[in-house]
Amino acid sequence: MAYNLADKTAIVTGAASGIGEQTAERFAQEGANVVVADVVAEEGQNVVDELESAGGTATFVETDVSDPADVEALVQTAVETYGSADIAVNNAGIEGRDAPLAELTMDDWNRVIDINLKGVWLCMKHELREMVENGGGAIVNTSSIAGLVAAGGPPYVASKHGVLGLTKVAATQYAQEDVRVNAVCPGVIDTEMVQRAADEDPDSIEQFVQMQPLGRMGTPEEIANAVVWLCSDEASFVTGNAYPVDGGYMAL
């Protein structure tokens, strides 16, 4: 299904690869101006080049979502370049070290929480201000099935549960400002993050895949499709929700 997002500006964090890259591509296909944000400059600029080669409009902003100054500059760049920040997908995240809780170091904990949870808060902090001033908007935060069940390392699970809490609070606080806030909860998706986990523990990944009733990994494109729908007018009465895109995992 096609959505007309012409004249909209979409910020996508963690957009240099995987789900973020495919989400940026889908927004560009729908006519949105896309602000590609990531910590890896070369890969992020490559995404912009690909979008522009396909006829899209895009800008790269090197962004560490755990850095308040970087996040503020990201949103300001979107507004200064395209005039608005109508859509935001807060997707940047890391898996961190999967170890028993009592064996984690402070660095293990802080790094994951800073990017996965504080980063989402910082992004929404600045995105919401612009959306309220502009008369509305739509935000989608990337959580995980680990935001719904204990599937993963302690900091990762805690951060993804936290993302859902932030999503619900923001949705209720800003509904009257015509800002919708939702989250997607991907299952096992064929991304670099999952491939790294598979290299470390192939049996565990295969077990998770088989627990998804569809019996396969999802694709980044399938997550991107859900995200774009949530940001479109087709989902105009949808806010405060967590959407599993997980091959049926959460139905078990």
In single-letter form, the type of residue at position 74 comes to L
Complete DSSP assignment for 18-51: HHHHHHHHHHHHTT-EEEEEES-HHHHHHHHHHH
Q: Which two tokens stand for residue 247?
A: 């091959």
In 10 A of CB 76, how many CB atoms?
Answer: 14
CB half-sphere exposure, 50, CA atoms < 13 A: 16
Helix count (H) and strand count (E) of the chain? 9, 7
- The torsion angles phi and psi of 168, rounded to 5 degrees, stand at -65, -40
Which among 3, 82, 156, 249 is annotated as catalytic?
156
Instruction: Give the separation between CA 251 and CA 12, rounded to whole angstroms.
Output: 29
DSSP 8-state class, residue 15:
T
Nearest alpha-carbon partner for 75 in 17, 125, 132: 125
CA 98 to the chain's CA centroid = 21
Q: Is residue 156 flagged as an active site residue?
A: yes
DSSP 8-state secondary structure symbol assigned to residue 191: S
Whats the size of the chain, residue-wise? Answer: 252
The sign of the torsion formed by the CA atoms of 6, 223, 13, 61 equals negative
Active site residues: 156
